[in-house]
Amino acid sequence: MTVTHQKIILASASPRRRELLGLAGIAFDIVVSPIEEPAPDTGEHPAAYAARMARLKAAAVAEQHPDAVVLGADSVVAVGETILGKPKDAADALRMLTLLSGRTHQVVTGCALFAPGREPEIFTVSTDVTMLDISEARLAAYIATGEPMDKAGAYAIQGGAAAFVTTICGSYTNVVGLPLAEVVEHLRQKRLP
């Protein structure tokens, strides 16, 4: 169990981030950030976009809770410089998964730590994920489960899409939604937990 004397807030509605942070034994509260996520700027690099979104989410909550340590995070799936957000519908999910099929892509999570009396700390973690060449029928069956509809890149590695992934180079928890080892290390360096 990790003990902290300072209140930590996770600025996220993601059940996956909540579960991962809980695995570290850190006591925390959840305050969902009120910001609307704008689309990436034209030509914005995936890591820059993820970092900007994490900062926006954390800043909005830190403003409401100035005495707390606030952690914001945002994950994006990218093929080269192309950012894949959450699919709009089943056809969009199929487009994204077809693009990912048979190739390596990156999952980039931006993290923002706001602590009282300190400058915000923003960092990103990138993981390479390689998928099998997947038939359209298998992709359609996966999409029919509904799982892809609220996930960046239209898949959940901890769910049904686990059968599509052949290799991961980097942090597994990053692909799930929060680079846990890196987050805990940043908190420890700040002597927060």
- Asked if the model's pLDDT at residue 148 lies above 70, the reply is yes
Pairing, β 8-10 against β 104-114: unpaired
pLDDT digits (tens, 9 = 90+) for 34-53: 998 888 999 999 999 999 99
Structural domains present in the chain: 8-189 (3.90.950.10)
List residues with catalytic annotation.
74
| Residues β-bridged to residue 131 | 165
Is pLDDT at 4 greater than 60 in this prediction?
no
pLDDT for 192? 62
pTM for the structure as a whole = 0.92
Angle value at C-alpha 100, between 145 and 112, nearest 5 degrees: 90
- For the CA atoms of 31, 33, 34, 36, what is the dihedral angle to 10 degrees? -160
Coil/strand/helix, residue 142: helix
Q: What is the pLDDT of residue 136?
A: 96
Q: What is the pLDDT of residues 63-107, one digit of tens each?
A: 999 999 999 999 999 999 999 989 999 999 999 999 999 999 999
- Is the model's pLDDT at 3 over the cut of 60? no
